[in-house]
Amino acid sequence: MGKKRKMPGLNTSSTADISFMLLIFFLVTTSMDTDAGLSRTLPKPPEEDQLNNEIKVKVRNILNIRINKDNYLMIGNDYVALEDVKPRAKEFIQNPENRPDLPELKEHDCKLLGKRMVTENHVISVQTDRGTSYGVYFQVQDQLVAAYNELRDELSKQEFGVNHYDQLSKEQQEAIREVYPQKISEAEPKQYGKAL
């Protein structure tokens, strides 16, 4: 047939503008803040028939941290400051001198690390009053996690020559977790000093 007609090029100069508008829309709506926090696992809800036979834990295996409505801290029977929580918790978790008032050491066959004495039954329990402020509670939790992290870092340096627990391989992390399992109880609080 006749001459071949050339398709005229589509004018695409406005595509940039359109996509700019979309881009700006998404820029504005995006929230880039990554959420961070302390993660915890709550215990399962109590079953009906289970209410009466609570799990018995030996007294020496519990570290009771109590916070009253005026935000005073108590560990065991002494009033302490927030800075004392971490060293006390570290001592409690580790029980380096095998003291009878700290959690019992049991021989545990750990992966990679062989047989070790571990305070595997220890529990740290934080009890609060209804009037305790959340900020203080959070600081205590943070200090407890810090205690665990420091112990784990120390052990990973000692055993694997790596300064930080996070930098170890999965298997090594597991081994260290067996020595220092994180046991912070999220049990329900008792109301022992009513807020006014």
Contacts to another protein by CB under 8 A: 12-13, 15-16, 19-20, 22-23, 26-27, 29-32, 34-45, 67, 83, 128-135, 137-139, 141-142, 145-146, 149, 186, 188-189, 195
Of the pair 95, 132, the CB lying nearest another protein is at 132
Provide the 8-state DSSP code for 181: -
> Cβ of residue 187: shortest distance to another protein, in angstroms?
10
Provide the 8-state DSSP code for 193: S
Of the pair 104, 142, the CB lying nearest another protein is at 142
Of the pair 44, 56, the CB lying nearest another protein is at 44
> Cβ of residue 113: shortest distance to another protein, in angstroms?
24
Of the pair 61, 133, the CB lying nearest another protein is at 133
> Cβ of residue 32: shortest distance to another protein, in angstroms?
7
Residue 57, classified by CB atoms within 10 Å of its CB into exposed (0-12), middle (13-18) or buried (19+), is middle
Tokens matching residue 28: 């504005």
> Cβ of residue 180: shortest distance to another protein, in angstroms?
14
> Cβ of residue 25: shortest distance to another protein, in angstroms?
9
Q: Which helix (H) or strand (E) holds 164?
A: none
Cα 192 from Cα 196, distance rounded (Å): 12
**Within the chain, what is the greatest distance between any pair of CA atoms?**
105
Of the pair 113, 145, the CB lying nearest another protein is at 145
Residue 42, classified by CB atoms within 10 Å of its CB into exposed (0-12), middle (13-18) or buried (19+), is exposed
